[in-house]
Structure 1
Amino acid sequence: MKFPLFTILLFSFFSYAQNSTSAIVLDRADNSPLEFVGIYNSKNHTMTNADGRFQFSSSSDSIIVYRVGYDKLITTSQKVKDTIYLNKSVLELNEVTVTNEKTLWQKVGDSVRSNYPIYPYKEKFLLRGVLRYNGEITRIQDLQGKLERRTLLYTKEIDPDKKDFKVELTNMRKVGLVKDEKQVYFIFETFYQLFMNFTPMNATGDAFDLTESTFNNGKKINLSFHTKPEFDNEKVVGYYIINNEDHAIERILMEIDFKNNPYKEDGKTRYRTVSVKKEMSLNKSLNTNKYYISSAKYDVKVELTDEQNSYTSYYDVSFILTTSDNEGDFEVKKNVSTSKDLFKINYPYDQSYWNAQNQLLLTDEMLDFIEKIQDPNSEFKIKSNIKN
């Protein structure tokens, strides 16, 4: 059967028409911007940045706005306004101190192999690194590519190895200072170090006190933890959000404060880690029924001084990871070392890709930094692959 040309063109238009939505997501209680809010439907996904902003394009009109610990919003692109408010899920008043689990944590352990891919798989990723020196941004780097993992979780039968990750870098942009005013170069993590840091961790041993509370009519459990008072060298607090139906971990937050951490020597400088914060959100795939890390954040604060303690400087480095196409059917051709300082990796800048990228928007502060730092009159040495 032959169709008129007008019909074919009309069908083509509707097949590729995109609904584009931009907005900011705030906590309804205090109007604070919400980072890591998933914006998605069955075809596409994105997430909010530190400003709570997102841009979402999809051929489907439906939109789901969700972050674990908040009530899910199901809407359409036509109904989305400039600002979206999310309500925190209400914890139910059955909070108890855990003293003996077969509790919940043993059930989580028993369900590991059914909930997570304990086998090799592939996914696509976007990784952002941001470095601050005494509160001011000094470095931004975005890396996009394909990743082949040996496993998501490490069990007693699987020991970590530097060959556990294979990376094919497909896009990168970076701009920042090589050294700061003290002539110090801050070493970025490697792919291997970061992916290992983005591995779910256990904080339920003898060093911790645990507390359970439920929400979403008992469907979710908040398992909070904190180190016992006798462990005074470091304070660890955080929580797990656990799906009570399949005992899968859906979100992890862990904050570590180091007390009187000893300095390490590096020439005339001395440095020590002050604090670490990790966040991870895991989503269940409808295709495999497995949970994958959909987004993660790793923050580290480092204190720097000299032999005479004549000054004190602070570095705050933050890495954000988002993934997609988990267990995708594509080839990963390794083209970058997973053991190299990320900021020393070289890869050409593709302006058309980054202009269209909306998986993780740059914040207003980042945009101002990129514009300012490429000033040719800057006194600092700049390293960048972004061409003006």
Structure 2
Amino acid sequence: MKLQFFIICLFSTLLYSQNELSGIVVDISDNSPLEFVGIYNKSDHTMTNADGRFQFYSTSDSIIIYRPGYDKISTTFQKTNDTIYLNKSVLELNEVTVTNEKTLWQKVKDSIDSNYPLYPYKEKFLLRGVLRYNGEITRIQDLQGKLERRALLYTHEIEPDKKDFKVELTNMRKVGLVLDENDIYFIFASFYDLFMNLIPVNATGDAFDLIESTFENGSKINLSFQTKPEFANEKVTGHYIINAKNNAIEQFKIVFEFENNPFSENEDSRYRTISIDKEISLSKSRKNQKYYIESSKYHVVIEQTDENNSYTSYYDVSFILTTSDNEGDFDVKKNVSTSKDLFKINYPYDQSFWNTQNQLLLTEEMLDFIEKVQDPNNEFKVRSNIKN
């Protein structure tokens, strides 16, 4: 009886030893919510959504709060308020515009083998797609599963192939309108298209002006780039955050803005891309010191009209990818095509999983949309696997 009592008490202690924190992270300068802020420790990890909100559980009491370009906070559950303020890291501008960018970039290239997995590996992922039509949400999809990659980056020795990714889908929720008011179906990207788009690329060639600055006492380098003035129809801006010690890219952001982009024809409609925005954050694994994609976002704005220009509509689509358990020891049993429109994928809804999923919370706007379109009085055709 004493042994049984001891086991029950021990189990109760373990059961209630988990720490929990819910809150919001904002920029201290203007109180704007910050997306993609990592909330983590050695055992657990989560991140903020577009509202800046997060929910974090851990048996460890320590917390690190960090987003590239902001000062890192190291604290504990007990010392953390539900509103967290982050300071932007102060950039120390070098005396001259970069003239040795090839030397800096050569250091990055020379370190690729040691910094990134250029071999097959497995990881777990959460992918969120959100479509807006003229500013209003019309589609939400979350996909969770296992992924096997051929490599993280592509070099001259590694040419892309349609078989570079294998996906085992384990959970999915989706809800959204099938057609817009003009009876247009917006095609979602495929797994393959997204995974290929969500990797850093080289933006340091002769077409770009570059400026180098340092922060965190010189331990980080910010290399910003912008297309030269002669490239009038396509403005490209962005930056790399590079670890000065090992020359690893820790963040990559690039924005394409197109002026007077020609329309493409599709039956009775015409469309063109207005802008593309990519942001990728990479973090180093304690297990093998390699860098993996921690979070990334792909955001596209498309203008659409008809052959008579009788109306103008805008589609705003974004995809967010987070990964975990990189180089994990598990099987990936392919059960979904990586070339299929994501919104046409069918998979059963598991309410218990999504009720406890805290890796990327739904925003208030998303929750309102799901409730609205699930209303039986809704007049639009809805495609969903969520059961009330």
Q: Under TM normalisation by the shorter chain, which class is it?
A: over 0.9
CA distance in 2, matches of 1:155, 1:72: 32
Q: Counterparts of 2:375 and 2:313 in 1: how far apart (Å)?
A: 25
Instruction: Give 1:77 deviation, angstroms.
Output: 1.1
- In structure 1, the partner of 2:272 is 272
Partner of 2:22: 22
Partner of 1:186: 186
How do residues 112-191 of structure 1 correspond to structure 2 at under 5 angstroms?
Answer: 112-191=112-191
Paired with 1:148 and 1:188, the residues of 2 have a C-alpha distance of 21
Give distance in 2, aligned partners of 1:233 and 1:14.
63
Number of aligned residue pairs: give it: 387
Paired letter, 2:141: Q
Matched, 1:303 2:303: yes
Q: Deviations over 1:77-108 (max 9, x none)?
A: 11221200011111114253112335211100
Aligned to 2:91: 91
Q: Secondary structure at the match of 2:14?
A: helix
2:62 paired with 1:62 = yes
Q: Distance in 1 between matches of 2:13 and 2:77?
A: 16
- Distance in 2 between the 1:107 and 1:176 partners? 46
> What residue number does 2:249 align with?
249
Give the alignment of 1:1-388 within 5 angstroms: 4-16=3-15, 17-388=17-388
For 1:273, the aligned partner's letter is T
Asked whether the 8 Å contact 1:221–1:241 carries over to 2, the reply is yes
Structure 1 residues 132-164: Cα deviation after superposition (integer angstroms, max 9, x where no partner): 000000000000000000000000011100100
CA–CA separation in structure 1 for the residues paired with 2:210 and 2:12: 55
TM-score (norm 2): 0.98
SS of 2:92 mapped into structure 1 = coil
- Residues 166-208 of structure 1 show CA distances to partners (whole Å, capped at 9, x for unaligned) of 0000000000000000000000000000000011111001100
C-alpha contact (below 8 Å) 2:130/2:140 kept by paired residues: yes
Q: Distance in 2 between matches of 1:95 and 1:261?
A: 37
The AA in structure 1 aligned to 2:107 is: K
Paired letter, 1:202:
N
The CA distance in 2 between the partners of 1:89 and 1:144, in whole Å, is 33
| Unmatched runs of 5 consecutive residues or more in structure 2 | none
Asked if structure 2 preserves the Cα contact closer than 8 Å seen for 1:95 and 1:213, the reply is no
Contact 2:93 2:212 in 1 (8 A): no
Q: Which amino acid aligns with 1:64?
A: I
- The change in CA–CA distance for 1:212 and 1:74 in structure 2 (over 3 A counts) is same
Alpha-carbon separation, structure 1, partners of 2:387 and 2:3: 47
Q: Percent identity?
A: 75
CA distance in 1, matches of 2:264, 2:95: 42
Q: Is the 8 A contact 1:96 1:213 kept in 2?
A: no
Give 3-state SS (helix, strand or coil) of 1:386's partner: coil
Distance in 2 separating the partners of 1:222 and 1:315: 32
Q: State the alpha-carbon separation in 2 of the partners of residues 273 and 227 from structure 1.
A: 18
Alpha-carbon distance in 2 for matches of 1:281, 1:291 = 10
Conserved in 1, the CA contact under 8 Å of 2:213 and 2:221? yes
8 Å contact from structure 2 (residues 263, 270) kept in 1: yes
How far is 1:259 from its partner? 1.2
TM-score by length of structure 1 reads 0.98
SS in 1 for 2:97: strand
What is the CA distance between 1:347 and its match in structure 2?
0.1
Residue 3 and residue 111 in structure 1: after superposition, are their counterparts in 2 closer, same or farther (change >3 A)?
Answer: farther
- Contact kept, 8 Å, 1:347 with 1:385, in 2: the verdict is yes
CA contact (8 A) 1:95 1:212 kept: no
Instruction: Tell me the distance in 2 between the aligned counterparts of 1:119 and 1:219.
Output: 28
Q: CA deviation at 1:55?
A: 0.1
Q: Deviations over 1:352-374 (max 9, x none)?
A: 00000000000000000000011
Aligned amino acid, residue 60 of structure 2:
S
Equivalent position amino acid for 1:15 in 2: L
* Paired residue secondary structure (1:78): coil
Kept in 2: contact 1:19–1:61 (CA 8 A): yes
Shift of 1:4: 2.9
Distance 1:41 1:239 in 2: 27
Contact preservation (8 Å) 1:95, 1:211: no
CA displacement at 1:254 relative to structure 2: 0.5
Structure 1: runs of 5+ lacking an equivalent: none
| Partners of 1:372 and 1:102 in 2: CA distance | 53
Instruction: Write the letter of the residue equivalent to 1:295.
Output: S
| 1:8 shift after superposition | 2.3
| Distance in 1, Cα, partners of 2:185 & 2:375 | 21
Amino acid at match of 1:203: A
Q: Give 1:15 deviation, angstroms.
A: 3.3
